[in-house]
């Protein structure tokens, strides 16, 4: 007869609690101890280590309460005309932010992909090279960019390191993406949310920004084309400056504002919405001018320093105000982490 994790002997419960604490430490380490070193420091080894890790992973999955959801995936032809949609399915869990506000987190499967763009891709620049394979571990990413409603709920939580403006956005609307948020304020958002979740559930769920490699992998969702839609995009599916074109696509609408979450009602093959356009999205990484020397394990590429430095951080995805070439899966941008603008937002991840 199989026992649930909660029915395991008390010593296993102690191991679970220790492993949860270890994971919280790991997620805050940038260039520190390995998982095995931390576990050894915590006094776990041998059978306890193996059994504890297995039990902990099972326990974490139980805590997440994963559910399935269905969504439409659309591709376009060379002229940007929509092909027939394909119905897909993915897993997600819901995080309660308080005040009846929810956050949906999608399970992103692990895999290997080629980061960057080929020399033949229209509008590609040298910062997108060299193309290199990157291994990505499974993780979770928010289904949509963080909305103003979600921002307000978390900004009302106790302060960790810095104050947060509860209503920073230029374009107002609960279901619109939050924008005009700096990288540092976004990190405070993640810290406040993590504290709330771990105070109530002690699951070791530490919210963070995705690494740049995770972001591109999630955006591509198995594709190698300039966009996950195909060789071009259309303003029927993406919010960008439709006065410009990409490839053989046609001109379209220029909305001059953000659009609400799931506005176009289509996702990529992983079940993520609005990965192209609408708002640029902060990533955890410091800016580098090429991928020479970049980690190949999907982790954030950080310079020496600390989280309060002013080195430029990476932005991805393009925005409502941009030419479509800036919305490509491989396109990279950068910004001062202390600054904000009305076309910059973010989504959150957990390991």
The helix/strand count (H/E) of the chain reads as 6, 11
Q: Are residues 109 and 184 in the same domain?
A: yes
Cβ burial of 52 (10 Å; 0-12, 13-18, 19+) is buried
Q: Which among 39, 64, 89 is the end of a domain?
A: 64
Say how far residue 37 (Cα) sits from the centre of its chain: 28
95-122 tens-digit pLDDT: 999 989 999 999 999 999 999 999 999 9
Q: Are residues 56 and 93 in the same domain?
A: no
Q: Are residues 198 and 272 in the same domain?
A: yes
Work out how many domains the chain is built from and give that number.
2
Q: Are residues 58 and 88 in the same domain?
A: no
193-207 tens-digit pLDDT: 999 999 887 778 999
> 232 near 76, Cβ under 8 Å?
yes
Kindly report the CATH number assigned to the domain that includes residue 188: 3.90.1580.10
The pTM (predicted TM-score) of the whole model is 0.86
Match 């409502």 to its residue by tokens: 320
Cβ burial of 306 (10 Å; 0-12, 13-18, 19+) is exposed
Say how far residue 90 (Cα) sits from the centre of its chain: 16
- Paired strand residues for 281: 316, 345
Q: Are residues 76 and 20 in the same domain?
A: no
Q: Which among 41, 64, 87 is the end of a domain?
A: 64
Match 């394979």 to its residue by tokens: 133
The Cβ of residue 156 has, within 10 Å, a number of other Cβ atoms equal to 14
The dihedral built from the CA positions of residue 127, 145, 264 and 222, taken in this order, carries a sign that is positive
In angstroms, the CA 301 to CA 351 distance is 16
Match 């999205």 to its residue by tokens: 281
pLDDT tens, N- to C-terminus, the chain (351 residues): 333 334 444 555 555 556 556 555 554 454 444 455 545 545 555 545 555 555 555 555 657 899 999 999 999 999 999 999 999 999 999 999 998 999 999 999 999 999 999 999 999 999 999 999 999 999 999 999 999 999 999 999 999 999 999 999 999 999 999 999 999 999 999 999 999 999 887 778 999 999 999 999 999 999 999 999 999 999 999 999 999 999 999 999 999 999 999 999 999 999 999 999 999 999 999 999 999 999 999 999 999 877 888 999 999 999 999 999 999 999 999 999 999 999 999 999 999
Phi then psi dihedrals of residue 280, to 5 deg:
-60, 150
DSSP alpha helices (H): ranges in 138-279?
Answer: 148-155, 183-200, 212-220
């Amino acid at each position: 007869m199989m026992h649930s994790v909660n029915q395991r002997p008390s010593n296993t419960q102690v191991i679970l609690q220790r492993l949860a604490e270890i994971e919280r430490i790991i997620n805050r380490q940038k260039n520190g101890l390995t998982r095995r070193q931390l576990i050894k420091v915590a006094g776990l080894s041998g059978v306890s280590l193996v059994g504890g890790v297995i039990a902990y992973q099972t326990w974490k999955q139980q805590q997440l309460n994963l559910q399935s959801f269905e969504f439409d995936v659309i591709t376009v032809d060379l002229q940007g005309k929509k092909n027939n949609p394909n119905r897909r399915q993915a897993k997600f869990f819901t995080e309660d932010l308080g005040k009846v506000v929810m956050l949906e987190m999608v399970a992103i499967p692990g895999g290997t992909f080629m980061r960057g763009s080929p020399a033949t891709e229209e509008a590609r620049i040298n910062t997108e090279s060299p193309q290199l394979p990157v291994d990505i571990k499974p993780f979770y990413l928010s289904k949509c960019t963080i909305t103003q409603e979600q921002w307000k709920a978390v900004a009302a939580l106790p302060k960790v390191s810095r104050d947060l403006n509860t209503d920073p956005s230029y374009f107002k609307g609960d279901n619109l993406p939050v924008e005009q948020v700096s990288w540092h304020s976004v990190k405070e958002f993640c810290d406040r949310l993590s504290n709330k979740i771990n105070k109530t559930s002690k699951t070791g769920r530490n919210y963070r920004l995705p690494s740049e490699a995770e972001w591109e992998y999630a955006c591509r969702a198995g594709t190698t084309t300039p966009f996950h839609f195909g060789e071009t995009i259309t303003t029927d599916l993406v919010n960008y400056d439709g006065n410009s074109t990409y490839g053989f696509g046609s001109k379209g609408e220029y909305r001059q504002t953000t659009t609400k979450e799931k506005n176009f009602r289509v996702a990529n093959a992983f079940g993520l919405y609005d990965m192209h356009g609408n708002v640029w999205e902060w990533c955890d990484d410091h800016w580098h001018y090429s991928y020479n020397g970049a980690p190949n394990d999907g982790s954030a590429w950080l310079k020496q320093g600390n989280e309060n430095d002013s080195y430029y951080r990476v932005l991805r995805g393009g925005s409502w105000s941009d030419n479509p070439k800036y919305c490509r899966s491989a396109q990279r941008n950068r910004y001062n982490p202390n600054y904000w603008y009305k076309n910059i937002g973010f989504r959150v991840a957990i390991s």
